[in-house]
Amino acid sequence: MQQRIVQWWPMGIACVVLGGMLWWKQLPAAPLSPAAQLGKLIFHDTSLSASGQQSCATCHVASLGHASARGLEAGGASFQHPGERNVPSLRYLSFNQGLQWDEEGKASGGFFWDGRADSLQAQAGEPFLNPHEMANTSRAEVVQRLQASNYAARFSEVFGHGIWRRPDQAFDAMTSALASYQTQDPVFRRFDSLFDRVMQGQAQFSAQQERGWRLFQDEEKGNCAACHSAQAAADGTPALFTDFSYDNLGVPRHTAILVNAKATHFDRGLCKPQQNVCGAFKVPSLRNVAVRRAFFHNARFDNLHDALAFYASRDTDPAKWYGKASAKFNDVPKAYQRLVNTSEAPYGGKLGESPKLNAQDIDDLEAFLHTLTDADLLTTVAAPRAATAPQRAEVHAGR
């Protein structure tokens, strides 16, 4: 059968015409550039934090898909600041762009949960200076630590021997190196999950995974693909399982976030009142979602099964998630509760009605989401958790 490569990308993915059909394949990884090699060293260097104990890799754990083991990570010079947001995964993030608005006022792109950084490089720099994270007081302090590292000579060889006399330029070179590492190293964009192999005709879904895949795309049931787009891009880039948009889900308040003890404190996310997006947060990629230990911007849920069940019965059984029905959307200021997404499936439904997804549907969706796990993480992920018979009875009864 004739094979013809028609296009390829720096991340090592080739778009291939095979037997008249369009596929993609992984190419041998190119060596990291000198800047990216430095970025890898910087990513794992704890000496660049005020505590001397925290690096990028501390919170973005490779064995967890470069997400967090806890969700809410403490930081500061002596780890005195508890985390206030879930640590997102860095995998597949290099496909993102800066924040932009379409003609209908819909936001997409941007980095962090609230889109405040315009590039991967800008995102890489913030934790070094955030008092709740690596807690350096200035760019110059970070550069001073960098100059004391055991790879400082390599840094000056790559970026110029006079770089240490220009702290701002040295800091920018450091964040550029981090962005290069996250862009060039194939571990951040593997595209070798079971889903990828099924799409390439190299494997098959189980019956349960196939049911979950259909639910994922069904606009009247799971409707997950509405935001977690599951189609390859026009240029052949495999599905990223996010459209990088923003949504207000009305996720329950998380009491483990200490600042939430103040009743007037709310995390408003991407809050542009004129755009009606207060309370909206970035839609993450679902790739490797099955290995995550915390879900949603506030890490309110600690397992995938409950996160899916919340989508299904948020409106039909709010007491289950908010403590009581009258506390629904309790982590969104009242002025913005009207902006919570209630119009798209699986949301909607009246109190006491049967949800759009029953317990078997949730099990099937969870089974499908496990197919999005990168091959290097398969030993990390736990098996999908099946609902118990009483749980199924409750869901089917609409309670």
Task: Assign 1 a pLDDT band (cuts: 50, 70, 90).
Answer: very low
End-to-end CA distance of the chain: 55
Cβ–Cβ under 8 Å, residues 184 and 30: yes
Residue 282 bridge partners (DSSP): 246
pLDDT of residue 11: 47
Beta-strand (E) ranges in the chain?
3-8, 13-18, 21-26, 100-101, 107-108, 246-247, 281-282
pLDDT of residue 14: 57
pTM of the model: 0.89
pLDDT 10s digits, 6-58: 343 444 555 555 444 445 555 567 899 999 999 999 999 999 999 999 999 99
- Tokens representing 270 are 């991407």
Q: What is the C-alpha to C-alpha distance for residues 144 and 159, in angstroms, rounded to an integer? A: 16
Residue range 159-211, pLDDT digits in tens = 999 999 999 999 999 999 999 999 999 999 999 999 999 999 999 999 999 99
How far is Cα 270 from Cα 278, in angstroms, rounded to an integer? 6
279-to-225, 298, 323, 329 alpha-carbon distances in Å? 21, 12, 20, 10
According to DSSP, the residues that pair with 3 across neighbouring strands are: 18
List the single range of 137-146, 221-230, 363-372, 373-382 with lowest mean pLDDT: 373-382
Query: What pairing do the DSSP bridges indicate for beta strands 13-18 and 21-26?
Result: antiparallel
So what's the pLDDT on residue 388? 42
pLDDT at res. 2: 43
Yes or no: say if 160 and 188 are a contact pair by the CB < 8 Å rule. no
| Rg of the chain in Å (alpha carbons) | 22
Average pLDDT over the chain, rounded to whole?
91
DSSP annotation string for 285-349: --TTGGG-S-BTTTT-BSSHHHHHHHHHHTTT-HHHHHSSGGGTTTTS-GGGGGGS--SSTTS--
- Asked whether residue 158 carries a pLDDT value surpassing 90, the answer given is yes
Please report the pLDDT score of residue 115 as a whole number: 97
What pLDDT does residue 397 have? 32
Superfamily of domain 194-397: Cytochrome c-like domain (1.10.760.10)
Q: What is the pLDDT of residues 310-343, one digit of tens each?
A: 999 999 999 999 999 999 999 999 999 999 999 9
Lowest pLDDT segment from 18-27, 112-121, 141-150: 18-27
Domain with CATH 1.10.760.10 in the chain: 34-187, 194-397
Mean pLDDT (whole number) for 118-142 = 98
The pLDDT of residue 394 is above 80 = no
Dist CA 55 CA 73 (whole Å): 12
| Residue that has been written with the tokens 């981090």 in this structure | 178
pLDDT, tens digit, 9 for 90 and up, residues 72-105: 999 999 999 999 999 999 999 999 999 999 999 8
Q: Give the pLDDT confidence score for residue 275 in this predicted structure.
A: 87
Q: How is 85-123 classified by DSSP, letter by letter?
A: SPPPP-TTGGG----EE-TT--EE--BSTT--BSSHHHH
Short-list 294, 273, 285, 272, CA closest to 244 = 285
> What is the predicted pLDDT for the residue at 23?
55
pLDDT in tens, 195-254: 999 999 999 999 999 999 999 999 999 999 999 999 999 999 999 999 999 999 999 999
Q: Could you tell me the pLDDT band of residue 274, with boundaries at 50, 70 and 90? A: confident
Note the Cα 175 to chain centre separation in Å. Answer: 20
The domain 34-187 is placed in CATH, from the list 3.90.550.10, 3.40.50.300, 3.30.1330.90, 1.10.760.10, at: 1.10.760.10
What CA–CA distance (Å, rounded) separates 37 from 45?
13
pLDDT over 50 at 355, yes or no: yes
Q: Are 186 and 11 in contact (CB under 8 A)?
A: yes
- In this predicted model, which residue has the larger pLDDT, 375 or 273? 375
